[in-house]
Amino acid sequence: MVTGRDVNRRWILRRRPNGELRSEHLDLTTEPIGEINSGQVLVRTVYTSLDPAHRLYAREKDSYIPSVPLGGVMRSFNMGVVEESQNADFATGDIVTGVFGWEDYSVSAGDGSDYMSVVDMDPRLPLAARFALFEHIGLAAYFGLVKIIDPRPGDTLVVSAAAGAVGSMAVQIGKILGCRVIGIAGSDAKCALVRDEFGADVAINYRTADLTSALRAAAPDGVNGFIDGVGGEILEAVLEVLAMNARIAMAGFISQYENDAQPYGPGNIYNLINQRARIEGYSAPDFASDSHAWAKAHRDITDWYFQGRIKYRLDVDQGLENAPQSLRKLFSGKNEGKLLIQVSEEPIRQPPRGESLPPGLSGDRSR
Ligand SMILES: NC(=O)c1ccc[n+]([C@@H]2O[C@H](COP(=O)([O-])OP(=O)(O)OC[C@H]3O[C@@H](n4cnc5c(N)ncnc54)[C@H](OP(=O)(O)O)[C@@H]3O)[C@@H](O)[C@H]2O)c1
């Protein structure tokens, strides 16, 4: 793990991909770290989140947020440590998250534009758990279910990419909310995980099953809710088996992210009319504007975790230099849990002011 206070490595987007986003579309540059100005904060990256959305940021056309311009650093959601601060809201040593980039060090304007905030979570949780349980992962599953699908106990819920980061959380929260959960995943091993570890009632391998028939067999009364991160043919299969008034929370469309020219859309979208069903796209951070619901989500997930009702998996690769090749795992289905790159060492965690860490954790590293 190479990081030196004087050097900042940054992955710069040089070319737009046509198909897969690979290292040849980016350059790993090395720059000196300049001085920070009044109001600014210097953050050392500890973890960078690898997300399917990187492929969206690399395209010419904007997606749910603007694309990364050519010559710009690849955008990413990071956790890091404040190394230097000229901003009264952030102190040296604070552990923060924010929308920064694939880089060793980020300079925050400290004005909220990068959503930088001090990490506030139960100190018994490992730092990296933040990326699986909360932020754009756990909270995407939570709000897709609670706010968009709003299931009744006994409803049948389908989750795609069910062994993945968002999907595994959606399966488990769906069970907590009393649903019968059908998970869809891309291998028998992942299906076993979805059933045995995450608690789905049924898991279907979409690569080997006739998906529509398998769904019909698993949900004879139809599907009431679907939390979808895949789109394309998987969405098409679920549209065939909707119950009346079904709700679909569209979190993502990964099957088509590499297909800018002609993304595949389901031909049977009119089934929404037949079934008086609803489909709604959303992005987890949208829900932050409701501070009450946002705080409740954090409390609920924390409680469920400590009650043993939620588990998470992390897939942590080492070294910023490996970011583009690690990203491929998301598109080939090779990731095993929430995919992260560890860029530098975790800091030793200090208890919040006026509090002490639980026994056994005081002064320890967090994981
Ligand atoms: N709306 C939001 O706020 C929000 C937030 C975070 C993520 N997302 C979206 O949620 C989805 C999942 O993201 P994640 O971070 O949780 O990733 P993930 O599920 O941990 O990893 C991606 C998984 O997608 C599956 N996949 C990849 N290509 C596929 C294809 N062509 N057909 C079917 N499945 C495919 C693979 O699983 P299999 O081996 O099972 O195929 C892969 O492991 C993405 O669409 C992402 O953009 C949305």
pLDDT tens-digit readout, 191-227: 999 999 999 999 999 999 999 999 999 999 999 999 9
The predicted pLDDT at position 34 comes to 82
Q: Is the pLDDT of residue 353 over 80?
A: no
The predicted pLDDT at position 366 comes to 31
With residue 301 as reference, give the H or E element that holds it: helix 291-306
The least confident of 3-17, 199-213, 260-274 is 3-17
What is the CA(111)–ligand 1 centre distance, in A? 31
Cα 228 from Cα 248, distance rounded (Å): 7
- In this prediction, residue 365 has a pLDDT band, given cuts at 50, 70 and 90, of very low
3-class SS of residue 233: helix
Q: Pick from 304, 341, 359: which is nearest to 128 by CA?
A: 341
Q: Pick from 1, 81, 91: which is nearest to 366 by CA?
A: 81
Most ligand 1 atoms within 8 A of CB, residue of 139, 147, 230 to mutate: 230
Cα 13 from Cα 26, distance rounded (Å): 5
For residue 36, CA distances in Å to 10, 95, 136, 318 come to: 17, 18, 29, 28
∠ CA 244-141-220, nearest 5°, is 30
C-beta 204 within 6 A of ligand 1: no
C-beta 149 within 6 A of ligand 1: no
Q: Cβ(230)–Cβ(251) under 8 Å?
A: no
**Which atom of ligand 1 is nearest the CA belonging to 140?**
3
Q: Cβ(125)–Cβ(99) under 8 Å?
A: no
Residue of minimum CA distance from atom 37 in ligand 1: 333
- Residue found by looking up tokens 């026994």 in the block: 359
C-beta 255 within 6 A of ligand 1: yes
What is the CA(231)–ligand 1 centre distance, in A? 10
Average pLDDT over the chain reads 94
What is the CA(157)–ligand 1 centre distance, in A? 17
The predicted pLDDT at position 364 comes to 31
Q: Cβ(279)–Cβ(250) under 8 Å?
A: yes
In sequence order, which residues have a C-beta less than 8 Å from that of residue 185 and are 6 or more positions away?
Answer: 161, 162, 163, 164, 167, 191, 193, 194, 203, 204, 205, 206
C-beta 335 within 6 A of ligand 1: yes
Q: Is the pLDDT of residue 119 over 50?
A: yes
Most ligand 1 atoms within 8 A of CB, residue of 137, 166, 294 to mutate: 166
pLDDT tens-digit readout, 169-178: 999 999 999 9
Q: Please give the share of the chain, as a percent, with pLDDT higher than 70.
A: 94
What is the pTM assigned to this prediction? 0.94
The predicted pLDDT at position 110 comes to 87
The predicted pLDDT at position 355 comes to 56
- In this prediction, residue 165 has a pLDDT band, given cuts at 50, 70 and 90, of very high
**Which atom of ligand 1 is nearest the CA belonging to 166?**
16
What is the CA(230)–ligand 1 centre distance, in A? 6
C-beta 282 within 6 A of ligand 1: yes
What is the CA(317)–ligand 1 centre distance, in A? 18
Cα 140 from Cα 160, distance rounded (Å): 13
The predicted pLDDT at position 149 comes to 98
What is the CA(360)–ligand 1 centre distance, in A? 36
The predicted pLDDT at position 352 comes to 56
What is the CA(70)–ligand 1 centre distance, in A? 25
What's the Rg (C-alpha) of the chain?
21
Residue of minimum CA distance from atom 46 in ligand 1: 252
Work out whether strand 41-49 and strand 105-108 pair parallel, antiparallel, or are unpaired. Answer: antiparallel
C-beta 8 within 6 A of ligand 1: no
The predicted pLDDT at position 6 comes to 75
C-beta 145 within 6 A of ligand 1: no
Q: Is the pLDDT of residue 139 over 50?
A: yes
Is residue 317 classed exposed, middle or buried when 0-12, 13-18 and 19+ CB atoms within 10 A define those classes?
A: middle
What is the CA(161)–ligand 1 centre distance, in A? 5
Q: Is the pLDDT of residue 283 over 80?
A: yes
Q: Which segments of 177-243 does DSSP mark as H helices, in order?
A: 188-196, 211-218, 232-239
Residue of minimum CA distance from atom 28 in ligand 1: 331
